Amino acid sequence: MKALLEHLGLDVVVPPYSSKRTLSLGVQHAPEFACLPLKINLGNLIEARELGADAFIMAGGVGPCRFGLYAQLEKEILYDLGYTYESLVLEPPDMGILKFLKEVRQIIGTVSWWRVWQSVRIAYRKAYLIDELERVLQELRPREVVKGTADRIFSFSLSTIDRAKNNDDLNEAFGLAKQKLLHVPTDDNQIILKIGLVGEIYTLLEPFASLEIEKKLGYLGAHVNRSLYLSEWINEHLFHGFLGKKNMNRQFKDYSYPFLNHFVGGHGQESIGASVAFAKEGYDGIVQLAPLTCMPEIVAHTIFPKVTKECGIPVLTIYLDEQMGQEGVNTRLEAFTDLLRKKRALLDPLRTIC
């Protein structure tokens, strides 16, 4: 988003990385029953205001979960707190393409549509290359000799990709980061588990919200693959495959039908479909992440016992909220990966694949 808006000539204020302070600001002012992403976002908006932001853009939404309400709620809470913020709610194109274009025009002012398209292309390419690096990172975490080496290279590469102003800079930053990652020393004589990470989009993509569960699983010896990567989601859900070729192996909704055959809001249906697909690919287990009270993921959670029974894949569900502690999560992940190792050693030949 930063790349997109800067390319359009707008001044962007990026709030600090989400932290305990961010969450605490959100928890203080949001309704207790609101989902975790709303609380963190509210904290982000307060911190951005402190840094001088005077307007924010928030996605709207349609569908059975509460997301569509959140932009309005955030606006009203900030107003009540006395923050003078301009705000713009960008409703999805499905609500009417003309309305959507009118809202975009309000943000971009007189900038031409050609420039908008170029900005979308460079922003999408940044997201795509970061996802490519993340896939390499996910392979390296369980194998690297000194834990954390690949993560340090990745964090550094985020800033070089951020600074890239055109495709040449971007390719150079990406190529350098990938080369560095490929030279990280690894120990290849160990059993690597394969774990699919599924669930609600925000907790899947924002490490702070999930207490860095993806990284922890990697350090516990698991090669993690997520059901959702940001660039894939942008291309397939916002641009219907217009920015790049769809990955037909990852059309997870299609796999959900025997278990759940309709949209339940958020990514509940994809969570089921991706778990079935991962089971078919021989993964050892699934970890489902969801903010506490997340309706679509609660629906998926109730269906998982059937997926486990028919596909022979264990599922660990972790609900996240402001009460979660690091140690509790670590213990559950350690126990889960230990059990998966034992299961692989004892039961593999008997495994049922749906």
Instruction: Name the residues that contact ligand SF4, by CB under 6 A.
Output: 35, 37, 65-67, 200, 266, 291, 294-296
Helix H or strand E segment including 56 = strand 55-59
Q: How far is the CB of 84 from ligand SF4 (least distance, A)?
A: 26
Question: Which residues, at least 6 apart from 122, have a Cβ–Cβ distance to it below 8 Å?
Answer: 3, 4, 7, 166, 167, 170
- If the CB atoms of residues 181 and 204 are measured against ligand SF4, the closer one turns out to be 204
Biggest CA–CA distance in the chain, Å, is 65
Evaluate whether 288 touches 199 at the Cβ level (below 8 Å).
Answer: yes
Q: Where are the alpha helices (DSSP H) in 51-208?
A: 67-80, 97-108, 113-140, 149-163, 167-182, 201-205
Residue 209: DSSP 8-state? T
Nearer to ligand SF4, 23 or 184 (CB): 23
Neighbours of 62 (CB within 10 A): 12
Between 299 and 316, name the residue whose CB sits nearer to ligand SF4.
Answer: 299
Contact 229, 241 (CB under 8 A): no
Which CB sits closer to ligand SF4, 30 or 184?
30
Shortest gap between Cβ of 230 and ligand SF4 (angstroms)? 16
Question: What Rg do the C-alpha atoms of the chain give, in angstroms?
Answer: 21
CB nearer ligand SF4, residue 149 or residue 256: 256
Shortest distance in whole angstroms from residue 295 CB to ligand SF4: 5
**Minimum distance, C-beta of residue 345 to ligand SF4, in the bound complex (Å):** 36
